[in-house]
Chain A
Amino acid sequence: KAGVTQTPRYLIKTRGQQVTLSCSPISGHRSVSWYQQTPGQGLQFLFEYFSETQRNKGNFPGRFSGRQFSNSRSEMNVSTLELGDSALYLCASSLRQVRQETQYFGPGTRLLVL
């Protein structure tokens, strides 16, 4: 079974631009979560989508948004990029069928904002 895939793997943008990242979950997984990893803050939860609905949101500004499609694929959008948005953006998927579940991560998208 293929794992979680993320595209693109690397991105370079300039301040003020916007960016869209894509995530395809493991086949059959309906939950997709997004995390941001930075050297200072570690891995931080952005939001989770299940059945095309945002179920949970972390403490990030409204510039960070996402959506999920009927095939469970998800996109994350960051508008008006700031230098501090440079990070590794990770997507994780799970079945979300039982209360205690393991999330499986993709390889991430490395975003550099200049």
Chain B
Amino acid sequence: DQQVKQNSPSLSVQEGRISILNCDYTNSMFDYFLWYKKYPAEGPTFLISISSIKDKNEDGRFTVFLNKSAKHLSLHIVPSQPGDSAVYFCAASLMGGGSNYKLTFGKGTLLTVNP
């Protein structure tokens, strides 16, 4: 059972426009959400995170929105740049830490930003 889902395997946008990547989750015990960016043959690079007590977090061109009632989060990139082209992973961790301390990942969305 996939607890974190990224239903769009790929997304293509024009340079300068907004990129919106979506993520849904099923486990209401998740309380911390992260977005990672990954280039081929490299490890994931942390982008931005959000705690379940917030509904928005911004960092430069990146904004993450969390809708707990819908169990949905999204990553907005404005403006999109060709260097943003990569696979983006949504990840979630369970509240309480301890033996639950791990990240559950979605399958990723390949973002292509066209010049």
CB-based contact A42/B107 at 8 Å: yes
**In terms of DSSP, what is the predominant structure of the interface of chain A?**
strand
The answer to whether B44 touches A102 (Cβ under 8 A) is no
Known A102-B34, A102-B49, A104-B46; contact A42-B106, beta-carbon cutoff 8 A: yes
- Min distance, Cβ A45 to any Cβ of chain B, angstroms: 4
Contact B51 A100 (CB under 8 A): yes
Q: How far is the CB of B8 from chain A (nearest CB, A)?
A: 14
- Distance in angstroms from A57 CB to nearest chain B CB is 9
Q: Does B96 contact A (CB under 8 A)?
A: yes
Contacts of A35 in B (CB 8 A): 103, 105
Residues of A within 8 A of B100 (CB): 56
Residues of A within 8 A of B71 (CB): none
How many angstroms from the CA of A103 to the CA of B93 in the assembled complex? 10
A87 contacts the other chain (CB 8 A): no
B53-104 contacts to A (CB < 8 Å): 89, 91, 93, 95-104
Cα A97 to Cα B89 in complex, Å, equals: 24
Is the pair A48, B102 in contact by a Cβ cutoff of 8 Å?
yes
Question: Which residues of chain B come closer than 8 Å to A105, judged between CB atoms?
Answer: 36, 43-46
Specify the chain A residue showing the minimal Cβ separation from B103: A103
Q: Looking across the interface, which residue of chain A has its beta carbon closest to that of B100? A: A56
On chain A, the residues within 8 Å of B36 by CB distance are 105
Fill in one digit per residue for A83-114: 1 if any B CB lies within 8 Å of its CB, else 0. Answer: 00000001010001001111111111010000
- Tell me the complex Cα distance, A100–B34, Å: 10
Among A6, A45, A99, contact of B103 (Cβ-Cβ < 8 Å): A45
Asked whether A74 is an interface residue with its Cβ less than 8 Å from the other chain, the reply is no
Q: Are A45 and B43 in contact (CB under 8 A)?
A: no
Q: Mark B1-41, 1 if CB is under 8 A from A, else 0.
A: 00000000000000000000000000000011010100001
Closest 6 CB pairs of A and B: A105-B43, A43-B105, A100-B32, A45-B102, A42-B107, A105-B44
- Interface positions of A (Cβ within 8 A of B): 4, 6, 31, 33, 35, 42-45, 48, 50, 55-56, 58, 90, 92, 96, 99-108, 110
